[in-house]
Amino acid sequence: MADQKKLFIKTYGCQMNVYDSERMAEALGGAGYIATDTPDDADMILLNTCHIREKAAEKVYSELGRFKGLKAAKPELKIGVAGCVAQAEGAEIMRRQPMVDLVVGPQSYHRLPAMEAKAGNGQKALDTDFPEEDKFAHLAARPKAQRGPSAFLTVQEGCDKFCAFCVVPYTRGAEVSRPVDRVLDEARDLVERGVREITLLGQNVNAYHGAGAGGDWSLARLIRELARIDGLARIRFTTSHPNDMDDDLIAAHGDCDKLMPYLHLPVQSGSDRILKRMNRSHTAEQYLRLIERIRAARPDILLSGDFIVGFPEETEADFAATLALVEQVRYGQCYSFKYSTRPGTPAAERAQVDEDVKADRLQRLQALLSRQQAEIQDAMVGREVGVLFEKPGREAGQLVGKSDHLHAVHAQAGAERIGQVARVRITGSGANSLAGQVVEV
Ligand code: SAH
Ligand code: SF4
Ligand code: F3S
């Protein structure tokens, strides 16, 4: 094709941004762009940004600074900012970095090709609306190219929960679920193109209530329907809110074979006082009872979570309650963060905890979480697990894949096994991955 332009996208933040970046690349593919993995020869650079913590947001400006030389050498280079910083800061980004040509919020990606055509040569394009129309319905159909064995599929966006620390309800807008048929069509299309594992995504994915036959469907019903697709071997979903784990979804973990035994269920704190101040709308005890019910349905489920330490007014006793909750749950994997003040959120106005206290608590929590992660990984040694091989490993003749429990596993195997779920006996446990041997059957 004549005159193909090159697009470099850099993605920050959550998996929803990874999915959005794919969709943006596809949308701009229609406008003549092909992907490149370096900014140096790009005709357009797009930063898909995250606003969740202060550091994440500041990274955008330092990254933009690094493109100054490229823009000076090639004035027709278009630079765009997408994602949650684009939504939160809008035109302010162009004021701070005048070389930015285009700013697009997460709900307007279907308008990107038109914005791209307008931007450049001193013309700016800005769109941070929450449009009436559904961006997914207006995004171009996905191209038919073959793809890797696992894929993300966004089914729900936005959040109505307004946790006191969080920017997501402001950057992503109100909760919206995609209609059932569209999700099923996209899933079938992914499977035709080689996908064996789909991870359903949403800021509150278990609050899914998409329009389908007979009314709104729950996430559990959607999962059961997806499980009927031949060739789809595995289903996962993330991120869930404890208050939206309904009985049917818990039951699905016990009776739906394709639903993998892994659940990311953030709790943020183990202190009821802090949970209340965070506006999480449940207690530590309610969370623990919920975990009991989930484990009753699927005893070997691996749990993961998110924690914030040093939330405003958190005392040593509150923090001790978090450690106690972690001890009780025994997580296989976790993300933990120091509380980061986000302007415009309620918690930003409250008495802040000292930075060194936050750092100390984070270190203590992470030590406990790492210990649990290692214990659970070590306990896998000797067990036989399913592994979906995804790509070649670092050593010759080796493949890397994900176990049912989402552990990275490497094993000696031929490239023909990529895209297959193999039975693997776990033989060793390393820092962040397991070693195994394929069991021939
Ligand atoms: N919807 C998900 C979380 C999305 S944000 C949920 O409710 O669990 C991902 C994680 O970032 C959160 O779980 C939280 O642990 C962390 N986070 C969000 N805002 C933060 C802030 N202001 N400071 C530190 N961590 C934050
Ligand atoms: Fe943020 Fe809370 Fe919504 Fe999760 S549930 S996205 S933490 S406001
Ligand atoms: Fe970040 Fe936005 Fe995701 S703030 S975590 S990119 S929803």
List the CATH number of the domain containing 112.
3.40.50.12160
Higher-confidence residue of 347 and 129: namely 347
Do both 256 and 338 map to the same domain? yes
CA of 278 to the centre of ligand 2 (A): 10
Task: Tell me, using a 6 A CB cutoff, whether residue 16 lines ligand 3.
Answer: yes
Q: What is the pLDDT of residue 209?
A: 97
Please indicate, yes or no, whether residues 373 and 394 belong to a single structural domain of this protein.
no
Is the CB of residue 179 less than 8 Å from the CB of residue 210? yes
14 in a labelled binding site: yes
Cα 159 to averaged position of ligand 2 atoms, centre (Å): 6
Ligand 1 pocket check: which of 50, 166, 326 to mutate, most ligand atoms within 8 Å of Cβ? Answer: 166
Give residues with Cβ within 8 angstroms of 401, minimum separation 6: 387, 388, 389, 390, 408, 409, 410, 411, 422
Strands 210-212 and 156-157: unpaired
Nearest to 24 by CA among 39, 44, 41: 44
pLDDT at 300: 96
Enter the tokens of residue 399.
């493949």
Question: 265: Cβ below 6 Å to ligand 2?
Answer: no
Question: Cβ(203) to ligand 2 under 6 A?
Answer: yes
* CB distance 204 to ligand 1 below 6 Å: yes
113 lies in which domain range?
5-127
- pLDDT over 80 (residue 141): no
What is the domain count for the chain? 3
Assign 441 a pLDDT band (cuts: 50, 70, 90).
Answer: low
Residue predicted with more confidence, 377 or 441? 377
User: Are residues 356 and 393 located together in one domain of the fold?
Assistant: no
Domain boundary among 345, 378, 411: 378
Pair 145, 163 in one domain: yes
Of 393, 437, 436, the C-alpha closest to 418 is 393
For ligand 2, pick from 87, 241, 335, 340 the residue to mutate: most ligand atoms within 8 Å of CB. Answer: 241
| Contacts of 158 by beta carbon, 8 Å cutoff, 6+ apart | 168, 169, 172, 173, 174, 175, 176, 203
Specify whether the CB–CB gap between 237 and 199 falls below 8 A. yes
Q: pTM, whole model, 2 decimals?
A: 0.96
Q: 142 with 121, same domain?
A: no
Q: Whose CA is nearest to atom 7 of ligand 3?
A: 168
- Which among 194, 82, 211 has a CA at the least distance from the CA of 149? 194
Residue 361: give its domain's CATH number: 3.80.30.20
Same domain, 335 and 298: yes
Q: What was the pLDDT predicted at 11? A: 97
Q: Which residue's entry shows tokens 């191209």?
A: 143
Which tens digits make up the pLDDT trace of 2-45? 478 999 999 999 999 999 999 999 999 888 999 999 999 999 99
Tell whether the model's pLDDT for residue 1 goes beyond 50: no
Instruction: Give the model confidence (pLDDT) of 93-125 as tens digits.
Output: 999 999 999 999 999 999 999 999 999 877 999
Across 242-249, average pLDDT: 97
If asked whether residues 112 and 43 sit together in one domain, one would say: yes
Secondary structure of residue 234 in the 3-state scheme: strand
Is residue 423's pLDDT more than 70? Answer: yes
- What is the enclosing helix (H) or strand (E) of 329? helix 316-329
Q: What does pLDDT average to over the chain?
A: 95
Which of 127, 143, 171 marks a domain boundary? 127
> What gap in Å lies between CA 252 and CA 248, rounded to an integer?
6
Residue 205 pLDDT more than 60? yes
Model pLDDT, residue 81: 97
Residues 294 and 345 in one domain: yes
Q: Which tens digits make up the pLDDT trace of 303-346? A: 999 999 999 999 999 999 999 999 999 999 999 999 999 999 99
Q: Are residues 374 and 388 in the same domain?
A: no
33 versus 137: which is more confidently predicted?
33
Mutate to test the pocket of ligand 1, among 206, 264, 306, 338 (most ligand atoms within 8 A of CB): 306
| Ligand 1 atom at shortest distance from the alpha carbon of 165 | 22
Q: pLDDT at residue 373 above 80?
A: yes
- Point out the domain boundary residue: 127, 154, 187: 127
pLDDT of residue 113: 93
Instruction: State both tokens at 23.
Output: 């969709």
20 and 56 assigned to the same domain: yes
The single-letter code of the amino acid at 202 is G
Query: For ligand 1, atom 13, which residue shows the shortest CA distance?
Result: 306
Say if residue 370 is in the same domain as residue 238.
Answer: yes
151, 291: one domain: yes
User: Is residue 62 scored above 90 in pLDDT?
Assistant: yes
* CA–CA dist 227, 355 (Å, integer): 47
For 77-175, strand residue ranges (E) read 78-82, 102-104, 125-127, 150-154, 156-157
Q: What proportion of the chain, given as a percentage, has pLDDT over 90?
A: 91
Per-residue confidence (pLDDT) for residue 385, from 0 to 100: 96
- Cα–ligand 1 centroid distance for 419 (angstroms): 32
Tell me the CATH number at 414: 2.40.50
Q: Which has the closest alpha carbon to 155: 218, 97, 201?
A: 201
Query: What does the pLDDT read at residue 53?
Result: 96
Q: Which ligand has the nearest atom to the CA of 19?
A: 3
Closest approach atom of ligand 1 to CA 340: 23
- Residue 14 CB–ligand 3 contact under 6 Å: yes
